[in-house]
Chains A and B, each alone.
Chain A
Amino acid sequence: MAGLELLSDQGYRLDGRRACELRKVQARTSVFAQADGSAYLEQGNTKALAVVYGPHETRGSRSKSLHDRAVINCQYSMATFSTAERKRRPHGDRKSSEMSLHLKQTFEAAVLTELYPRSQIDIYVKILQADGGNYSACVNAATLALVDAGIPMRDYVCACTAGFVEDTPLADLCHAEESGGGTSLALALLPRSGNIALLQMDARLHQDHLDALIEAAMTACKGVSKVLDGVVRQHLEEVSVLTRD
């Protein structure tokens, strides 16, 4: 009858999380040998794959290259099997182009591009399974891939979404919550400095609630950063054990 109850009176969400709890984040780096850097990340049921090439000489026309820093080229796509209804066009549609652009802006803010003038860094991300928070999964996966490729960055870029339901900010929305018709805000954070790399929100929200919502998203991002850091350190340990032999 009525729509879904996104937040019960007892404070549980549809999937049993509390308002500020993240979904389970799992990740692995160096999943492909050929690429310079790669990572696979699961955030709940959202699964993303990121691959990084570069920095390398600018491909295609020279005119695109910049004399003082590297160009970041992002491409976002979704697998045809990623959603409940099979996707007709996995990339190149309006939403994907917009998402590519957002990713590009995010990483231009985080990567130390001035170290590589006249070169290019390619970031390819693919959503294998979509269950809300596609943008944040992509950013988190791409961060790991960049780290894996050894590209210097100011900090990890951690992203998370936050929504607003019944005067409570909810962290890390799943698909049902995103499509439930509330406001959803995506935020990419450089956690150590607290700088915001990207902030995006489409729906209307009263100004009074904005601070609370950003605060919730930032806390969530910091939570994500801990997980990512753990993944990188563990990978490093594994690799160093291997190389020592």
Chain B
Amino acid sequence: MLKSKTFVKKTRSGGVLKIVREHYLRDDIWCGSEVCKECKDEAPVLQEHACIESDLCSYPHYLIPDTNVLLHQIDILVDPLIRNVIILQTVLQEVRHRSAPVYKRIKDAIHEKEKHFYTFTNEHHRETFIEREQGESANDRNDRAIRVAAKWYTDHLAKKTNGGSLKVVLLTDDRANKEKAEQDGLIVYRCEEYIKSLIGNPELMDRLALQPDDQNEITGSKLLFPEHLPLSRIQSGIKNGMFLQGTFHANRDNYLEGKVFINREGEEINEVLLQGLQNLNRAVHQDVVAVELFPKERWVAPSSVVLQDDSPNDEDADEDETENNLKGVPSDSSVLKPTGRVVGVIKRNWRPFCGMLSQSMIKEATRHLFTPADRRIPRIRIETRQAANLVGQRIMVAIDGWPKNSRYPNGHFVKNLGSAGDKETETEVLLLEHDVPHQPFSQAVLSFLPQMPWSITEEDLKVRADLRHLCVCSVDPPGCTDIDDTLHCRELENGNLEVGVHIADVSHFIRPGNALDQEAASRGTTVYLCGKRIDMVPELLSSNLCSLRSNVERLAFSCIWEMNHNAEIIKAHFTKSIINSKASLTYAEAQMRIDDTTMNDDITKSLRGLNRLAKILKSRRIAKGALTLSSPEVRFHIDSETHDPIDMQSKELKETNSMVEEFMLLANISVAQKIYDEFSECALLRKHPSPPPSNYDILIKAAKSRDLNILTDSAKALADSLNNATVENFPYFNTLLRILATRCMMQAVYFCSGMDSDFHHYGLASPIYTHFTSPIRRYADIIVHRLLAVAINADSTYPDLMDKHKQTALCNNLNYRHKMAQYAQRASVAFHTQLFFKNKGIINEEGFILFVRKNAIIILIPKFGLEGAVFFDHKDRPSPRLSFDSEGPTLKVEEHTFRMFDKVKVTISLDASNIQHQRIRMALVEPGFITQQLGK
């Protein structure tokens, strides 16, 4: 049957169009139930005995949630307990329009076999399609469509089971809808009613999202916030320039302040400061909001006050007092920032937040405040009856809404992660907070692993170069089990050298498009935490089949050069190969072999050859302007039993580190050139943009304080002036400068060559670069391997590889994952540092001043690679006389002037006063008089 759908639509340019679409109604859409014999469904999804133990419905039943129930109670619906749910197409479409994250979750649930979720395409079913009536709103029509579909199911199932026991239950929170459904003779419950009736699962109750109806009971009717404008007015406001659209970033240190970054091009103002609860108007970190600018008279400088929202009361007390504190900041017109207020939220970017419960003062209360670990997120009010069990635990909470009469957003409990301070729990928290996928690999993923025992087949031998006779070895940090690169070097008969870099052939095992590939692509990178590794690919591959361990035959992707003794490449050659590594060395072992003149075996000779060439390559690279940067890195010595850190020291770099690095760079550059030549549109490359000149200001100032001049016109100039910048009797000075230089740099990113024209890698001074050498731990390398394999006719292409838009999307994900992995890594180091100092007690250590701030100095302790701030003002003590000079930059505290790079002595201790935000506290010991004066 054919129906025509007509509706009117407004185009972007403002014209009004009449759109006519066909709408076919079918009679071959099945009900999806096992019971039904009439429907010719091959694999019915819904079970015959659909039992959820419930007080209300003691008979087997299927659930039909309406749109709002699905949107708000998704946390409950995805619980394993809830099964046999019919998701109507009407509902699914509405959800798709209203919330992408919920849509994704419900789709995942539908795909899960054990959940028995069935999507009923009611809009195209002959008997359940309804037309919008005169004067009926779209919402009402959809509600009616849901009721009609529910009615159809009721009758259909009754017929099939001869009026038997199987029923459908409609879940809706809309009162009017419920009444009408009851009139139609449907079984209908409110979601809350139904969940409460479930036997044996009281904890589901806590996950119920609060409904707007209930919220009125919670707070008084006093309005705390201005109303948000409707979306239509926001949009017209943005169009005519009245409002600005941007992403809201809350201030980490001051809960009454935030910034909105305007992401529109050609806008003079790209940052708007918001101050005070009223002006923040319920915006949460990362939301996309519309702001209205204040007139210039109300522009202020951002306050540098640290304010934490730690008032114990969860009532909506007046905050006027603290807000007044914010004002009256001296107004120097040059530092004035545009200010404004939030008029509406365009898109919420809420995710489940990790944090801890602050228990209510009243013992029996069920409403509690939840403090998220991320300080930029406001506290959330949740309702739970298990508060006593949750105190001291890390929990996860989702926000449901933020009504205008409530001081805090309302949310609901999602999950308990474990007790706070516990290593496992804290690791879990930091993985969740950094969005690192860390669940065990699913069965679907594991099913694509090769069968064990695995061995090299005849076919492999046929298509691969047999390099098993070569004296290949690997050099890695100690304890490394995912070895993805090996090297060899030998003299050829014509006197030239043959150098080979052999990389694990991961793309042989991970075939494009399968579940294993998709999982790896979504993880993007292996994340290394202290004492823990979150693998990108299952362990069988990462630590066994792909790991190029010694004395086993492994598949590799080889990059072989013929070089003369001046390290000039005569010929480059790429091939898939089979290798047999002769030794897995650590950096120290390799160094020892090179240095030990008595050793003259093949491996050592090969290493010496490599080392010599690497030095030439390095000097050539530096001559071209490659930067040698520095960042303090630490290693923990971890107790093998308790896994507590027992010692920490900064990582030491040996000659062999740079030897391996040099050849990896060479391989990466060679491969980048090759794949770009073959696929100019879809090569996956990595670039490092040159930083804007203003980024270097701090570095130039810092060097000037020691009468040194740093040139930043080009990478070469910078590298040279960094090399020349040394101060007598101060060997660490150069390293400090390089640490500073590192902070001036931009992030290196992956990109698709067809979508960008600037390929330059600033840090390496290379016109083109990619990642090829670590396919076990980086997904980008797998793509590069596939491209290279196609380029040398060793493999065939597949559609997504050649699609530059899909590749750009992939690059964006990889860049995001890499950034998050880095943050997670840092957070893990910070946590272990805390553990270390917790065990260690208080220690004194020498350090250098890295930055000078208005009210603090940032100190770096080289021994631990630890960075911390020493504050000169305290809440409860009068602060000393401070005068800050931004030119130096110097800070004068009483009589003493602190300059950058000054040597100081500090005591380090752990500040555990806030269990959620434990931190390292530093206090000055030397120069000592400061402390004495402060102590007075």
With the chains together, A114 CA to B25 CA distance in Å? 47
Cβ-based interface call for A242 (8 A): no
Q: Which residue of A lies closest to B513 (CB)?
A: A167
Q: Are B2 and A45 in contact (CB under 8 A)?
A: no
User: Does A211 belong to the interface (CB within 8 Å)?
Assistant: no
| Interface residue? B881 (CB, 8 A) | no
Which residue of A10, A14, A208 is within 8 Å of B21 (Cβ)?
A14
Considering the complex, which residues of chain A in the window 1-28 have a beta carbon less than 8 Å from any beta carbon of chain B?
Answer: 1-2, 5, 8-10, 12, 14-17, 23-24
B:4-24 near A, CB below 8 Å: 4, 11, 15, 17-24
On chain B, the residues within 8 Å of A12 by CB distance are 121, 124
B96 contacts the other chain (Cβ, under 8 Å)?
Answer: yes
Contact B22 A1 (CB under 8 A): no
* Interface check B384, CB cutoff 8 A: no
Contact (Cβ within 8 A) A23 B797: no
Q: Is there contact, CB below 8 Å, between A9 and B119?
A: yes
Which residue of B has the minimal Cβ distance to A13? B24
Within 8 Å CB of A85, what residues of B?
11, 15, 17
- A16 CB to nearest chain B CB (Å): 4
With contacts A174-B22, A206-B799, A208-B799 taken as known, whether A2 is within 8 angstroms of B96 at the C-beta atoms is yes
- The 0/1 profile, CB within 8 Å of B marked 1, for residues 75-109 of chain A is 00000000011000000000000000000000000
Cβ of A8: which chain B residues have Cβ within 8 Å of it?
89, 119, 121
Question: B21–A9 contact, CB under 8 A?
Answer: no
- Cβ proximity bits B76-115 to A, threshold 8 Å, 1 near / 0 not: 0000000000000100000011101000000100110000
Across the interface, do A1 and B119 meet the contact criterion of CB distance under 8 Å? no
Name B796's closest neighbour in chain A (CB-CB). Answer: A208
Tell me which residues across on chain A come within 8 A of B218, comparing CB atoms: none
Q: How far is the CA of A84 from the CA of B18 in the complex (A)?
A: 6
Cβ of B803 < 8 Å from any Cβ of A? yes
Q: Is B2 in contact with A24, judged by CB distance below 8 angstroms? A: yes
Residue of B nearest to A5 (CB): B96
Does A16 contact B23, Cβ atoms closer than 8 Å? yes
Q: Within the assembled complex, what's the spacing in Å between the Cα atoms of A208 and B803?
A: 13
In the bound complex, what is the Cα–Cα distance between A84 and B21 (angstroms)? 11
- A25→B89 CA distance, assembly (Å): 27
For chain B, give the interface size range. Answer: 20 to 34
Find out whether the CB atom of B23 lies under 8 angstroms from the CB atom of A206.
no
Tell me, yes or no, whether A131 is within 8 Å of chain B by CB. Answer: yes
Contact A15 B110 (CB under 8 A): no
Q: Any chain A CB within 8 A of the CB of B75?
A: no
Minimum CB–CB distance from B441 to chain A (whole Å) comes to: 24
- The answer to whether A9 and B110 touch across the interface, beta carbons within 8 angstroms, is yes
Rounded to whole angstroms, the CA-CA distance of A8 and B148 in the bound complex is 22
Q: Is the CB of A45 within 8 A of B96?
A: no
Q: A199 contacts the other chain (Cβ, under 8 Å)?
A: no
Chain B residues near A9 (CB, 8 Å)?
A: 107, 110-111, 119
Q: Decide if B56 is an interface residue (CB 8 Å cutoff).
A: no
Tell me if B929 is interfacial: C-beta within 8 Å of chain A: no
Residues of chain B within 8 A of A10, CB atoms compared: 89, 119, 121
Kindly state the separation between the CA atoms of A245 and B803 in the bound complex, as whole angstroms: 65
B798 contacts the other chain (CB 8 A): yes
Determine the chain A residues whose CB is within 8 A of the CB of B25 once the complex forms: 16
Count of A residues near B, CB < 8 Å?
Answer: 26
Residues of B within 8 A of A17 (CB): 24
CB of B802 within 8 A of chain A?
Answer: yes
* B100 pairs with A1, CB closer than 8 A: yes
B22 touches A44 (CB 8 A): yes
A131, A174, A206: residue with the most chain B Cβ atoms closer than 10 Å: A206
When distances are taken between beta carbons in the complex, the residues of chain A under 8 Å from B798 are 206, 208
Quote the shortest CB–CB distance from B10 to chain A (angstroms).
12
**Do A16 and B26 have beta carbons less than 8 Å apart?**
yes
Complex Cα–Cα for A208 and B513 (A) = 14
User: Closest CB-CB distance, A83 to chain B, in whole Å?
Assistant: 9
- CB of B400 closer than 8 Å to a CB of A: no
Determine the chain A residues whose CB is within 8 A of the CB of B96 once the complex forms.
1-2, 5
Chain A nearest CB, measured from B786 CB (Å):
14
B119: chain A residues within 8 A (beta carbon): 8-10
A176: Cβ under 8 A from any B Cβ: yes
Complex CA distance for A26 and B496, rounded to whole angstroms: 77
Interface 1/0s, chain A 192-211, versus B by CB < 8 A? 00000000000011111100
User: Which residues of chain A come closer than 8 Å to B18, judged between CB atoms?
Assistant: 84
- Is B123 engaged at the interface, CB distance under 8 Å to the other chain? yes
Q: Mask for A109-153, Cβ within 8 A of B = 1, else 0?
A: 000000000000000000000010000000000000000000000
Give bound CA distance, A85 to B17, whole Å: 7
CA distance A204 to B2 in the complex (A): 33
**C-alpha gap A194/B23 in the complex (Å):** 32
B799 touches A209 (CB 8 A): yes
B17 and A84 within 8 A (CB): yes
A31 to B68, CA, bound (A): 53
Query: With a CB–CB cut-off of 8 A, which chain B residues contact A15?
Result: 21-24
Query: Cα distance A8–B91 when bound, in Å?
Result: 13
**In the complex, residue of chain A having the shortest beta-carbon distance to the beta carbon of B20:** A45
| B residues less than 8 Å from A131 (CB atoms) | 20, 22
B428 to chain A, nearest CB (A): 31
B21 & A176 in contact (Cβ 8 Å cutoff): yes
Among A2, A45, A84, A204, the residue within 8 A (CB) of B22 is: A45
Give Cα A9 to B4, complex, Å: 23
Query: Closest residue of chain B to A21, judged by CB?
Result: B24
Complex contact B121–A206 (CB within 8 A): no
Query: What is the bound-complex CA distance between A9 and B89, given in angstroms?
Result: 11
Query: Chain A residue with minimal CB distance to B98?
Result: A1
* A23 to B, closest residue via Cβ: B22
Give the CA-CA distance A131 to B5 in the complex, in Å. 13
Q: Which residues of A contact B111 (CB under 8 A)?
A: 9
The answer for the CA separation of A17 and B124 in the assembled complex, in Å, is: 9
Q: How far is the CA of A220 from the CA of B15 in the complex (A)?
A: 36
| Residues in A neighbouring B19, C-beta threshold 8 A | 84
CA distance A111 to B23 in the complex (A): 37
A174 to B20, CA, bound (A): 11
Q: With a CB–CB cut-off of 8 A, which chain B residues contact A14?
A: 21
Q: Name B24's contact: one of A16, A176, A207, A209 (CB within 8 Å).
A: A16
Q: Which of B15, B17, B802 contacts A206 (CB 8 A)?
A: B802
| Contact code string B21-35 (vs A, CB < 8 Å = 1, else 0) | 111111000000000
Question: Roughly how many angstroms separate A206 CA and B682 CA in the complex, as a whole number?
Answer: 13
A16 / chain B contacts, CB cutoff of 8 Å: 23-26, 121, 123-124
Alpha-carbon gap, A131 to B18, bound state (A): 13
Contacts of B15 in A (CB 8 A): 85
* A2-B100 contact, Cβ under 8 Å, with A17-B24, A206-B797: yes
Q: List residues of B (747-798) whose CB comes within 8 Å of A's CBs.
A: 797-798
Per the bound structure, the CA–CA distance linking A32 and B19 in Å amounts to 30
Chain A residues with Cβ under 8 A from B20's Cβ? 45, 131
Give B904 Cβ to nearest chain A Cβ, in Å: 54
A207 to B124, CA, bound (A): 34
Q: What residues of A have a CB within 8 angstroms of the CB of B22 in the complex?
A: 15, 23, 44-45, 131, 174
**Bound Cα distance A10, B123 (Å):** 13
List A residues 49-74 near B (Cβ within 8 Å).
none
Q: Specify which chain A residues have a CB less than 8 angstroms from the CB of B121 in the assembled complex.
A: 8, 10, 12, 16
Quick check: A1 and B97 within 8 Å, CB to CB? yes
- Please, could you name 15 A-B residue pairs with CB atoms under 8 Å apart, sorted by A? A9-B107, A10-B119, A15-B22, A15-B24, A16-B124, A17-B24, A23-B22, A44-B22, A45-B4, A84-B19, A131-B22, A176-B21, A206-B798, A206-B799, A206-B802
7 A-B pairs with least C-beta separation? A206-B799, A16-B124, A16-B24, A84-B17, A15-B22, A44-B22, A10-B121
* Residues in chain A within 8 A of chain B (CB atoms): 1-2, 5, 8-10, 12, 14-17, 23-24, 44-45, 84-85, 131, 174, 176, 204-209
4 other A-B residue contacts (CB within 8 Å) besides A16-B24, A206-B798: A1-B96, A2-B100, A5-B96, A9-B119
